[in-house]
Amino acid sequence: MKVFKFGGASVKDADSVKNMASIIEAHNADQLMVIVSAMGKMTNAFEAVLQRLIDEEDYISSLQTIKDFHAKIIADLGLKGNQQLNQEIQQDFENLSHELERFSSSLGYDYLYDQTVSFGEILSTRIVSAYLNTRQIKTTWLDARKLVKTDNIHRQAKVDWGATQNIIRSQVAQHKETKILLTQGFIGSNAKFNTTTLGREGSDFSAAIFATSLGAESVTIWKDVPGVLNADPKKFSDTVLFDQLPYKEAAEMTYYGATVIHPKTIKPLAQKGIPLYVKSFENPDANGTLINECVIPNLAPAIIHKDKQTVISFKISDFSFINEQHIHLIFEHINRNHLTINLMQNSAISFTICMDDNPVKREQLRMALKEDFLIYYNEGLEMITIKNYNQATIEALMKDKQIIIEQRSRNNFQMVYKV
Ligand code: ASP
Ligand code: MG
């Protein structure tokens, strides 16, 4: 059993779906578990519908855009006359409308989000499954809401690994004869069978959940990039493709902000020693990147950008020095506000943190600590981390930048600068 994951870009229109089918066809010597996301930018489109609903604006027309988008792909794939697909999709849209109509603020936005945005994945996989079957690629559609069990935290649900593994194993065991098992990324359900989601871009993590539950031979994430690059190709022209990366390197890159793989994906795979391939769906025969347990001397420096950063400095004003009690107090409030620190630094009289821009939480922190410190902040900054840096890379990246914080360890160089 191998696990394949296809994201939104790989199913954004009929041609992409056909391309995906060809990739699956070329690999169906093995039994495949295929995880698919919502098509194209549909998750954003669902979020826009919700925003209109919350703002008490007309959301029906936004919903129609979503219907039209899927209807076009269905038509372009020649599936218009597929009765079963039509019925399923009609039922999905009825269920979706029902959820939207019965929304009341007492149920909460996050709950509504999961009950509705999850339809992006449901619709996508229904269409892909129907199409694969017309190509004689025998496919069974599975409902991830019945397979991935989570807690109750809507939009950031935590997986109940024990229950999930048992269900996935027993369900998949019933389909030994089917070559392709197709299901959704990103979604699951809580103990009450309400739909939950694992966080934006969570389908990579879903692939890891299925792979570890099934003891899969490997996971392949098919992307619109050639593999894991040492920098964002949208920001740099001369990027280097990593042929191979140790799990640890890849996991740390996601921590520092690399978006090529969802941060939660690596850990479960590393624990089970399941190799992860990141490959291009545009060039499926190319090797891409293999992430596994390995040692690679002289890795090229990896450059990771994080934009929308805030730096906050807490200063002592009475000629005493920053001590552990001050830091303890600051951290108490950081923790209370569920803030994540991307970088920190102290001097004799100040303690400085860098976090993602979040004016509401920044203000809560400032109000809580303004009696104890003079507080200065700077928003809209950018941060660059260079893993496995060399001097030439640092110099090239620092050039012409107004640097606010600079830090280096043996392996990493980090800087926060004005844009
Ligand atoms: N469709 C979801 C999103 O766009 C999950 C995913 O693509 O991984 O966030
Ligand atoms: Mg997506």
* CA of 202 relative to ligand 2 center, distance in Å: 8
Query: How confident is residue 152, by pLDDT bands cut at 50, 70 and 90?
Result: very high
Name the domain boundary from 223, 256, 274. Answer: 223
For the chain, the farthest-separated pair of C-alpha atoms sits apart, in whole angstroms, at 79
Tokens of 202: 């969570």
* CA of 8 relative to ligand 1 center, distance in Å: 7
Q: What is the pTM of this model?
A: 0.94
Lowest mean pLDDT among 28-32, 179-183, 389-393, 411-415: 28-32
* CA of 211 relative to ligand 2 center, distance in Å: 19
Query: In the prediction, which pLDDT does 102 show?
Result: 87
Q: pLDDT for 61-116, tens place per residue?
A: 999 999 999 999 999 999 999 999 999 999 999 999 999 998 887 889 999 999 99
238 in any annotated domain: no
Whether 197 and 104 map to the same domain: the answer is: yes
381 pLDDT above the threshold of 90: yes
Per-position DSSP letters for 334-393, written without gaps between them = HHHTT---SEEEE-SSEEEEEEE--HHHHHHHHHHHTTTSEEEEEEEEEEEEEET--HHH
Name the domain boundary from 223, 245, 262. Answer: 223
Name the domain boundary from 196, 223, 250. Answer: 223
Report the DSSP beta bridge partners of residue 187: 197
| Residue with CA closest to ligand 1 atom 3 | 201
Query: In the prediction, which pLDDT does 107 show?
Result: 86
98: left (phi over 0), alpha (psi -120 to 50) or beta: alpha
Chain position carrying tokens 């392996």 = 411
Q: Which domain holds residue 198?
A: 2-223
Residue (of 346, 352, 343) closest to 322 by Cα position: 346
Mean pLDDT along residues 184-213: 98
Cα–Cα distance for residue pair 129/123, rounded to 1 Å: 10
Whether 202 and 71 map to the same domain: the answer is: yes
108 or 269, greater pLDDT: 269
Question: How crowded is the C-beta side of 371, counted as CA atoms within 13 Å?
Answer: 2
Mean pLDDT along residues 128-142: 97
Lowest mean pLDDT among 117-121, 233-237, 249-253: 233-237
Tokens of 216: 């899969």
Query: How confident is residue 237, by pLDDT bands cut at 50, 70 and 90?
Result: confident
Cα–Cα distance for residue pair 13/51, rounded to 1 Å: 25
Q: Are 266 and 277 in contact (CB under 8 A)?
A: no
3-state secondary structure of 306: strand
Query: In the prediction, which pLDDT does 29 show?
Result: 87
Q: What is the CATH number of the domain that holds 395?
A: 3.30.2130.10
Q: pLDDT for 58-69, tens place per residue?
A: 999 999 999 999
Domain count of the fold of the chain = 2
The binding-site residues of ligand 1, defined as CB within 6 angstroms of any ligand atom, are: 7-8, 37-38, 43, 120, 185-186, 200-203
Q: Are 77 and 131 in contact (CB under 8 A)?
A: yes
3-state secondary structure of 279: strand
Q: Provide, rounded to the nearest whole percent, the portion of the chain with pLDDT above 70.
A: 100
Mean pLDDT of the chain: 96
Q: Provide, rounded to the nearest whole percent, the portion of the chain with pLDDT above 90.
A: 95
Ligand nearest to the CA of 221: 1
Query: In the prediction, which pLDDT does 309 show?
Result: 98
